[in-house]
Amino acid sequence: MEQKPEEQVEQHNSGQSSDVSSGQPYSGASGSLGTPGQEATAPKPNKAKREAMEWIKALAIAALLVLVIRSFLFSPFIVDGPSMKPNFHTGERVIVNKILYDIRGPKRGEVVVFHVPQENRDFIKRVIGVPGDKVKLEGDDLYINGEKVEEPYLKGAIEQARKENRLYNMTENFPNSFVQSDVVPEGMFLAFGDNRSDSRDSRMIGYISTKELVGRADVIFWPLKDMQIIKHG
């Protein structure tokens, strides 16, 4: 809150003159006695009004800060759908860092929110490949640039699937009939949902332009029991 300015008290001469008959000074307006050179103090400004103005200014500044933060720095996002299970669930609210990708590009393993113009909605997925990467997904095995890559964020889910004698990813591999190129182009990235068997992602919609990035999901803040800093990769 701004520091209150010091009160300014206006002072003026009282316009006194001498009583010829008694020789004592008097006030021409009220007749009250005084001494020559005595100064009268003006009424103080209304304290309640000043405090109200201070509150209005403080609230206006707070509203402006919230607008700036939401528009340029951080923004809340609600998870909707099963595509990021077992790590994210419908109804969870996350804080998205909107300035990170103005500084650098996305990295493998990061959980990001991005626009999908052809579907007029936003997706939350995990970055799998960045420009120049050659990517292959075959069942539960992910290969980048010819080397098998471990996905620690899916380790438990894949192990559970194997105990049940099944694949965790029982749908599309990559590349496929939808996306035949296996090399991530410049200015693009590849993103899959953690729930490989129930996710609409780059295996169907193709590579995503970095221009469509909203930001990186950094914190789950609701519900409170699930509050945590999001692990990337």
Q: Which residues are catalytic?
A: 83, 125
* CB of 175 closer than 8 Å to CB of 181: yes
In degrees, rounded to 5, the angle at the alpha carbon of residue 47 between the alpha carbons of residues 11 and 45 is 25
Q: How far is CA 85 from each of CA 3, 30, 46, 89, 195, rounded to the nearest angstrom?
A: 50, 84, 59, 6, 5
**Euclidean distance between CA atoms 208 and 117, whole angstroms:** 10
Helix (H) or strand (E) holding 192: strand 188-192
- List residues bridging with 174 in a β-sheet: 137
Main-chain dihedrals φ then ψ at residue 77, nearest 5 degrees: -145, 135
For residue 202 the two structure tokens come to 């780059």
* CB of 128 closer than 8 Å to CB of 192: yes
* CB of 104 closer than 8 Å to CB of 166: no
